[in-house]
Structure 1
C-alpha cells in the first residue's frame, strides 16, 4: 500500500529501470511497445486525446523541447512537457506550464499505476511495465487531467520502440544524429537514423536539424514513403549567427529564415547559450512552430522571440558562478563533448580551462576522451547518484591511453570541485561535463537552493 511520497518513489524505482541498469543488464529484446500499449489501453488511452510535438535525436532534442515549450507558453497555450532523465527529483519530468507536478498528484498517479501493475504481474508477468513506461503513462494521465492544449515529448531512447512513440503528433522533429547507445541502436549512424526515424508517422510533417547528407537522405526517403512533408536545415530553413555570444553580454543573436516558399521570411532571436549547435536547436524549434501555425495554431514572431529569450535551460552551458566562472554542461557523447571543446576557446579566449570529467560506463567513453583538447587541468571523477558511472580510475586509464593527458583523480564531484577551485588560476574557468548526472551533482554543490528548478513567473 502506497501512502506517502517516499513510498511512491520507492515503488517506482523498484520497477525495471534501464536508466540505472549497468552495461550488459539489458538489450534490444527488452524494449517492446506491446507492454506500453497494454498499459495505455488499461488507463483509457489518454495519448489519443492530446496533440503532440514529438522530438527525437542524439544531440539537442532536450534543448529543442524546452524551446518549443517556452514559445508555446509565451503564446498563451497550456502546455505539458515530458523529458528525461531528471536532475534531482522525479517530478521534474512532468511539467505543466513550466511547473513540476506536486508531490500529492505524483503519489496519486503512482497509486493508480501500481493498481494496474499489481494486476498485470499476476496474470502476465512478462508484460509488467518498466519504470520509463510507467512514467510516460503518468505524464499522459497528468496532462489529460490538466487539460493541456498540447504536449511536447522528448524521446527517451532511440525512437521506434520508445514508450513515447504511441503518441499522435502534429509535427515530428529529429535533431542531429550521431553515435550513441550503439549497443541498443546499432553501431553505425545509418542504423541509429533508422531507429530515430521510427517516430515518423504517415502524413505527419517531419523537420530535422541534421546537416549530415546521408542522414537527411535516409530521413527524407522514409518520410516520402509515409507521405510526410519533409523539411531540413540548410534546405528549407536556415540559421545564421548574426551577433555572437560574448562573456559580457551572454546572448547571441540568431537569424532564422524559412526558405521553402517563394517569399523568404526571417526572424532574429536572442538566446542565452553560445554556438552553432544552439542556433541549430533554435532553427528546429522554430520549424516545429511554423508547422503548428500551418495546423491552425497562432504563434506570433514576438511570442517566438520572447519564448526563446526566456527559455530555462539548466545544465546546458550553464554558468553557475563567477570568479572563476563555473560552467556545467550535460554533454554525454563524443559529438556533444566535441562541440563543447570547440565552444570554450571560441567564447572564452586565452582563458585556461579546468575540466571536471565523469562519464557513464555505457557511453563511448574512449571516443569522448579523444575529443579532449585545450584543457589546462583535467580532473577525473565519478558521479554518485547512479550506478552507471564509470569508476574514476578506469576513466583515467582510458584518457592516458587515448590522448596521453595527465589527470588528477577524485572520488567525488565535491572533492573534484574543491581541487578545481584550488588549481584554477584567477583568469581561468572551470567546466564540469561528460554526463548529465555529473552536471546535476555539481550544480547542486554550487547552487544547493535549486533542488527543483522552477521557471520564473
Structure 2
C-alpha cells in the first residue's frame, strides 16, 4: 500500500477530498496520542512555520521539552518531526513507521474512508513521537487551510493565525475572505486566538473575528496589542523591540524582513498567552529564544561574498511582494553600488507564476527559469512564457533550460559580475535545492512514495 501524497501529487485534490474521519479513527486506535501533550496550533498563509519556530525556540529556552511539527521539509522527511529543533533520528523514524503501520492498515481495511494520506500519517507519527518522548508541549503547524486540515483534531490551549493571502485557491477559495474562513476553522470554544497583522484592506481579520466571537474565543489583535519597532536592520538580522502585555522585549532577530518582525510579535503574544495559562516563560527566555531561532530558506543568505546569493521560499504573489520589499531594504542599506539581480526562479504548477513574477518586476531582474525536482514543478518553458508575457528579461542562454538546479546555479555564477545578487525563489523546493547545491547536502529522493518496505511489509510478499 502507498499513501496518497497531495503535496507532491500532480493531480490537485478537490476540497471534498479532505475530511477528519480518517484522522479521528487512526488516532482513536492509537489511544489519541494528540491529547497527551498540550498543544499550540498555528495556521496561516505566510509566516506560520517561522512563528512555530520562534515559539518553539523560546519554549525550549524556558526549559520545556518541545515537540515541533511543520511542513513541508527542505531536505529530509525527518525534519517534520522534531524535539526542539532536532529532527527525529532515521532509526527512530523507521521504528515509528513499523509500529504505526498495522494501525494504518486497519484504517484502510476496516474503516469507511480509505487509507490515510501521507500528510495524515506524518502528523499522527509526530503526535505519537511527542507522546513517546514525554514532551511538555507540542507546537503544531497546519498543512493546508485549517478547518479540514489533518492537524485539526487537537484540543489546543492557544491557537494562532498568521498573515493570510491567496494561496491554494482551487482548494481553499479564490478570495481572502473564503480562505480566512478556512484558516479560522482551527479556532476552538473559549480558547484564545492570536491573530498576526494582516494586509491592509484585507477582509481576513474581520472574518477571523467573527469566528472567534461565535466560539467565545478571546482574540488578541497583534497589530494593536503588540507594537513592533525595527530599531536597526542589517544583512544578518534586525534589532527588534516589541511592546507586549507583560513586558517590553528587545532582541536581535536573525531572520530578515519586516514580516519576520511581525511574526516575532505574534510569537510573543502566543507565549504571553501561555504564561497566562500557567507556563513559566520569563522575559529572558523569550528574548534568547527569538535571538537564536533558525528557520532556513526564508530570506536566507547562503553566500556573503561575490556573488551575493539569497534564497527564499516565496510561492505566492503576496510572499513575493514581501520578499521584494526586503531585498529593496538590503540593497539600500547594506550593499553599495548594487549590480544586477539574477533571478533564479521556479514555481509549482498550481501556483500563480505570473502573479509572482509581476511582483519581481520592481527589481528589474534578469530571469533564469528553472524546474526543481518536485513532481509539481512548472516547466522552464511555462516560466519563460509567463516572463515574456509581463516583460521580465529572460537570460538568452537559459531559455533552453537546464538538466537540474545545480547546473542552473553554475550557469548563474558564470554570468555574474561584482556586486550582482543571485536570488533563488518561487518555491521552497527551489530554495532547498540551491541550499543543497551550495552546502553539498545529499538530497533525499522519493521515486515512488511507499512506506511498505520501510515498515517491513514488502508488497511483493503479499
Deviation at 1:23, TM superposition (A): 4.3
Distance in 1 between residues matched to 2:405 and 2:441, nearest whole Å:
17
1:444 aligned to 436, 441, 444, which one?
436
Identify which range, 209-218 or 283-292, moves more after superposition.
209-218
Identify which range, 230-239 or 283-292, moves more after superposition.
230-239
2:355 aligned to 367, 384, 402, which one?
367
TM-score w.r.t. structure 2 length? 0.90
CA RMSD of aligned residues (A): 1.6
Identify which range, 338-347 or 209-218, moves more after superposition.
209-218
Distance in 1 between residues matched to 2:137 and 2:31, nearest whole Å:
18
1:299 counterpart = 2:285: no
Q: Per the alignment, in what secondary structure is the counterpart of residue 288 of structure 2? A: helix
Distance in 2 between residues matched to 1:376 and 1:364, nearest whole Å:
18
Q: Per the alignment, in what secondary structure is the counterpart of residue 42 of structure 2? A: strand
The answer for the alignment partner of 1:419 in structure 2 is 411
2:345 aligned to 354, 357, 380, which one?
357
The answer for the alignment partner of 1:232 in structure 2 is 221
1:336 counterpart = 2:319: yes
Deviation at 1:114, TM superposition (A): 1.7
Distance in 1 between residues matched to 2:134 and 2:111, nearest whole Å:
32
Contact 2:226 2:265 in 1 (8 A): yes
Unaligned runs of 5+ residues in structure 2 are: 445-462
Q: Report 1:88-167 matches (<5 A).
A: 88-124=75-111, 126-167=113-154
Q: Per the alignment, in what secondary structure is the counterpart of residue 229 of structure 2? A: strand
The answer for the alignment partner of 1:6 in structure 2 is none
1:20 counterpart = 2:3: no
Q: Per the alignment, in what secondary structure is the counterpart of residue 9 of structure 2? A: coil
1:50 counterpart = 2:50: no
Deviation at 1:451, TM superposition (A): 6.9
The answer for the alignment partner of 2:231 in structure 1 is 242
Distance in 2 between residues matched to 1:207 and 1:393, nearest whole Å:
42
Contact 1:200 1:223 in 2 (8 A): yes
Q: Per the alignment, in what secondary structure is the counterpart of residue 253 of structure 1? A: strand
Post-superposition, which runs of at least 4 consecutive aligned residues in structure 1 deviate over 4 A? 449-452
Deviation at 1:275, TM superposition (A): 2.1
Deviation at 1:355, TM superposition (A): 1.1
1:192 counterpart = 2:162: no
CA gap 1:383/1:451 in 2 versus in 1, 3 angstroms: closer
Distance in 1 between residues matched to 2:392 and 2:62, nearest whole Å:
51
Deviation at 1:289, TM superposition (A): 0.3
Distance in 2 between residues matched to 1:299 and 1:120, nearest whole Å:
40
Distance in 2 between residues matched to 1:186 and 1:422, nearest whole Å:
42
TM-score w.r.t. structure 1 length? 0.91
Q: Per the alignment, in what secondary structure is the counterpart of residue 293 of structure 2? A: coil
Contact 2:43 2:142 in 1 (8 A): yes
Deviation at 1:405, TM superposition (A): 3.0
Identify which range, 387-396 or 108-117, moves more after superposition.
108-117
How many residue pairs end up in the alignment? 431
Distance in 1 between residues matched to 2:391 and 2:197, nearest whole Å:
29
1:80 aligned to 64, 67, 77, which one?
67
Deviation at 1:88, TM superposition (A): 1.4
Distance in 1 between residues matched to 2:218 and 2:325, nearest whole Å:
34
The answer for the alignment partner of 2:454 in structure 1 is none
Q: Per the alignment, in what secondary structure is the counterpart of residue 356 of structure 1? A: strand
